[in-house]
Structure 1
């Protein structure tokens, strides 16, 4: 195995380990914050310079400028740092990739809700859930809090773990950062409401495309993880095949339905957004009532899927001799 492969493997493994150990400390400036500022500034500029009937065409500028800019800036930064010293470039690449993934952050968010439920503090659990979901949480009982938490952990395995790691595997930190820009765009402007239906359509569509393969890969890895953890692996696969496409998102249904099958619970149901009820198709079968322990089980699946993918990624780098992006 050559030095290029060892370097690429060390960078990927280091990025994953860094995220697991420290996550995203608030005292460290995060690239997503800068992306958010850039998106808002560009959106304001488009609204000033274009007429509403031009927003659909102008909306293409958002992913081109923001995602393209993230890729170019990251590539240029690494080029400069590698010129100073290769080790500096490698360390920076690992740190940058780590900022695009959020295994620890996702796990901790679920655990915060779980701890409040375990203490019997429903108001605190509702508030913690409200920090990570868009639905209203002030009225939810314990099973609905559990449902919201499990759905969030399951859905975000794709865009917080598998997608950024896959793009890092293919194109290093520049491509991973471009993916994170696309995902941030979708979270800020990818809504089908009156304000963003034209301006945000390109960002939303690109996010769907970027997550299409990772979402289906996640379902496969979740099924494998269910077998490894001695959960309901076969039911996870069958449930995914049956229910994944019921979700309004072309991608979110794959991890959610697979997790539902693995745990033997039913996800989906009525959510309330800004006072308006919205029904999401049921996924999985209610073989038993949902309980707070399901959050722990969802987190176990999250960690197992993450480790499994990293091991496969390292194997891919080794097999390619490091030629994927070094």
Structure 2
């Protein structure tokens, strides 16, 4: 089966089902491997070398296992079904939307306490004292940021190198989320994983602004402002990559991200992204989710066209579409 077809099937499966909740997720297995190796490699305050060895072992083993499995699917064709399943688990479109909608529905009922609790599963910031506006802002910021590592980046690497590249990316992403902190414990040990995550997200983060702007145009959001704020504010973030998608979303929806936020009891002033054209409204969460969905379609469509051109399949696909249209009209006339 063609890689392009597999990717589309996996993408549609994610849109329908989201992350499998009753089946062990591949990322959970990667997480257990990281925990096991960390216990073996972390010494005293943790060293950069130990963290680098951890990162290399996790990413290399993930890539090699997936590479070997894909080779096996060419011999045992039925295993391609499981390959598609693994590809489907790499996407997080439906899951991001699901979590955002949960917060939205609870806020609509006016239950701030439960909304804070649900939000705490999505973000690392302190949620206990957040008011309604802060909850909305935080929900939108995390959806916007995760449009890169949950949607665009996995898709990008899947088109570049199939399942091995996509799953290796998820391994890097998981490493960063588990050890890539700047606190005392992981200051040295997590540096390699954090930097590696920055590197692999470099291209996906930057093209996210283009995709989000295009999606804004389709939805009749403020696409001109999305592009303007993307160009102006994409570097207004502690992370070299997170500001790109956030700035485009902020511009499209006319909201302002950043400002005061608390992490582990310590208040931090985050750089401002976007212009405050209006106050945050509850419906902005739904608009953000819809923007994410359309952005994912724009991304997979663009990647598919590039894939077809690079692989010399564009003309044959285009001709097939033309022949189908002609056949359809001829049959209508006869």
Shared fold (TM-score, shorter chain, > 0.5) = yes
Matched, 1:220 2:220: no
Please, which of 272, 289, 303 is the counterpart of residue 262 of structure 2? Answer: 272
Aligned residue in 2 for 1:139: 129
Aligned residue in 1 for 2:192: 202
TM-score (norm 2): 0.91
Alignment of 1:120-269 (within 5 A): 120-269=110-259
Contact 1:93 / 1:172 at 8 angstroms: preserved in 2?
no
Q: Give per-residue Cα distances to partners, 1:200-239, cap 9 Å, x unaligned.
A: 1010000000001100111111111111111111111111
Aligned residue in 2 for 1:59: 51
Matched, 1:44 2:36: no
After TM superposition, give the deviation of residue 52 of structure 1 in Å: 4.6
- Structure showing greater radius of gyration is 2
Aligned residue in 1 for 2:293: 303
Give the direction of change, closer, same or farther, for the CA distance of 1:295–1:322 in structure 2 (3 Å limit). farther
TM-score (norm 1): 0.93
User: Gaps (5+ residues) in structure 2?
Assistant: 314-334
Contact 1:35 / 1:184 at 8 angstroms: preserved in 2?
yes
After TM superposition, give the deviation of residue 81 of structure 1 in Å: 3.1
Distance in 2, Cα, partners of 1:174 & 1:318? 20
After TM superposition, give the deviation of residue 82 of structure 1 in Å: 2.6
- Select between 104-113 and 115-124 the one with higher mean Cα deviation: 115-124
- Select between 133-142 and 145-154 the one with higher mean Cα deviation: 133-142
Contact 2:20 / 2:89 at 8 angstroms: preserved in 1?
no
Contact 2:41 / 2:54 at 8 angstroms: preserved in 1?
no
- Select between 311-320 and 205-214 the one with higher mean Cα deviation: 311-320
Alignment of 1:76-95 (within 5 A): 76-85=68-77, 88-95=78-85
Distance in 1, Cα, partners of 2:242 & 2:44? 33
After TM superposition, give the deviation of residue 92 of structure 1 in Å: 2.5
Q: Give per-residue Cα distances to partners, 1:256-288, cap 9 Å, x unaligned.
A: 111111100111111111211011111111111
Runs of 4+ residues deviating >6 angstroms: none
Contact 1:79 / 1:89 at 8 angstroms: preserved in 2?
no
Contact 1:110 / 1:299 at 8 angstroms: preserved in 2?
yes
Q: Secondary structure at the match of 1:272?
A: strand
Distance in 1, Cα, partners of 2:62 & 2:44? 27
Distance in 1, Cα, partners of 2:270 & 2:312? 43
